[in-house]
Amino acid sequence: MVRAMEKILDENYYDLIIDNVMVPYYDIGNNITYLNDRHSLLHVLAGQIDPCDLGANAYHRFPSIYILTSQISLEKSGIIQVQSNPALALYGTGAIVGIIDTGIDYRHSAFKHNDGTTRILSIWDQTIQSGTPPEDMLYGSEYPRELINIALRSADPLSIVPTVDEDGHGTAIASIAAGKPDESQGFSGVAPEAELVVVKLKPAKYNLRQVSFVPDDILCYQESDMILAARYILSVAQRLNRPVVMCIALGSSDGSHDGQGAASSYFDYITRLSQVCIAISAGNEGNSNRHYYGNTTQTPYQSEFELRVGSQDRLFSMEIWPYAPSRLSIEIISPSGESTSLVYPRINTCERFNFVFNQGIIWVNNISFEEETGEQLILLRFENPISGIWRFQVFNLENEPFSFHSWLPAGNIISSETYFLQSNPDTTILSPGNAIHALTVTAYNQDNDSILIDSSRGYSRIGLPKPNLAAPGFNLTCALPDNRYGSLTGTGAATAHTTGIIALLFEWAVSRGNYTSITGVDINQLLIRGASRSPTTSYPNNIWGYGQVNINGVFERLAIF
């Protein structure tokens, strides 16, 4: 019998996210992996699902695909003032920084105490199956602090703790948030006395890539592994009775962009717990031309928009999310002039279209109501599309004004050659950055106080003010594997910076006993109140949120005069 632990790794099984109320209907003893109080994974044999036909399975059951949000300063955020003030002198003592990313080079000096012992409380490497998994987890290997210290004292550390960070992104993110200072490199993390809990995510399953039409060579991760990572970090913090801030420097363009996905809803929930906070990157899609917004107010109630498809992009998806009460049908016209038939909204259908003058194939799911949100979703998936200008005509069956959003995949899942001709930079915050209560962070250039042009913009699809804050995110000095240093740019870097600031606030609130029941929502509101704001700008806005993060401003507003 194949155990659930093996199924979560086995490419012969799909991982489907289901609500826990459905578990008794599916559970046969070895096919369920518990995610959290709301969701579980159902493991289904690949032969029981056609990867190209989503009609038989709800869209939201397939985990979303996530990508990294940075590309391989302190004065701007008020950190110097706080750390040099004898009454504060905050460095993150007692706080835990949780990193969910590509791993960490635990051998780097940035993650050691002065005596050479590790500042890492534990590492869960989801990619290594030879060790012992964490309690209540079914896969991967956990390396506690004691074992890491033994490894650091040995001549061959990797023979004892074999986890590495091949990409370097996780090491960089962890160091910006909580790296130990190195004066020779001009480097210091924001919270150098905080301790770390790190999860190295395993890559997304190949069969999920097939469903999502993601090319094989793209580094990406799946939503369910991220949820389990957060659950693990939370369990470590609760066992140690310590405050924790998690850094999510990943994002996805999948879904409704309104905070209702599985990861978004989970992060929203735990942000409201005592001594837990989550900082999430907004994404770097503001200048990618991968979002289109349509708004039709006059008859005939139809709309046409265009997508340029580059020659490099042989496999990708695209989503269209209308606003209720409209119901849209769609027709697709290829660059050669061939068109599909009109596809009407249905409940459980997937239509395939082949073209005579090119070898491309399009699968169309026009879903009447997507079960997680209740909204209509038109999912288009392209295989070997001919390059050139594709046209999309949508018609409102209700014969009244309507509007809709359309998104392409984020990051390097597609090339810059594929884009909407009349794109809109707004509403490009990646999930889970649209989670209602989590802190969503965008990036600005701290050298000239300008927003990074690539930073994703708000608001969410339902008008929620996002991002919440802007933080320094341009060429931040960071640690890299093999005891090297470099720089990191993007909203992921800005989120790591903000994560360190939250660790400082946890030291003040919890470790020093000023406000031990503080929640992530409380932390977020304190940071919003203390943010630096230009007198010539209206806040909140969809570019800067509520302003530039400034921890010194928090304490200025807490002071009694």
DSSP 465: -
**In whole angstroms, what is the distance from residue 443 CA to residue 489 CA?**
8
Compute how many other C-beta atoms are within 10 angstroms of the C-beta atom of residue 80.
Answer: 12
Residue 239's H or E segment, with its range, is helix 223-240
Q: Which residue(s) pair with 280 in the sheet?
A: 248, 440
pLDDT at 348: 79
Query: Which candidate, 412, 414, 390, 394, places its Cα nearest to that of 404?
Result: 394
Q: Which amino acid is at 101?
A: D
- Structure confidence at residue 1 (pLDDT): 46
Residues 12, 206: Cα–Cα separation, whole Å: 10
Residue 59 near residue 370 (C-beta atoms within 8 A): yes
CA distance 342 to 392: 11
pLDDT < 50: residue spans in the chain: 1, 73, 561
N- to C-terminal Cα separation, the chain: 69
* Residue for token pair 């459905």: 22
Structural domains of the chain, with CATH: 74-286+431-558 (3.40.50.200), 291-420 (2.60.120.1290)
pLDDT of 349 reads 85
Give the C-alpha distances (Å, rounded to integers) separating 480 from 115, 172, 317: 21, 6, 33
Token duo for residue 248: 């999510």
Name the maximum alpha-carbon separation found in the chain. 77
Write out the DSSP string of 376-418: -EEEEEEESPPSEEEEEEEEETT-S-EEEEEEPPPGGGS-TT-
CA distances from residue 393 to 254, 305, 334, 347, 381 in whole angstroms, order as listed: 22, 7, 12, 21, 16
Determine the length of the chain: 561
DSSP 545: B
What are the DSSP calls for 163-230, one per residue?
Answer: ---SSSHHHHHHHHHHPPPBGGGTB--SSTT-EEEEEEPPPPPHHHHHHHT--TT---EEHHHHHHHH
Map residue 46 onto helix, strand or coil.
helix
Residue 193, token pair as written in the block: 């006395």
Q: What is the CA radius of gyration of the chain?
A: 23
> Residue 237 in contact with residue 96, Cβ under 8 Å?
yes
User: Nearest-5° angle of CA 222, CA 223, CA 228?
Assistant: 105
3-state secondary structure (DSSP) of residue 499: helix
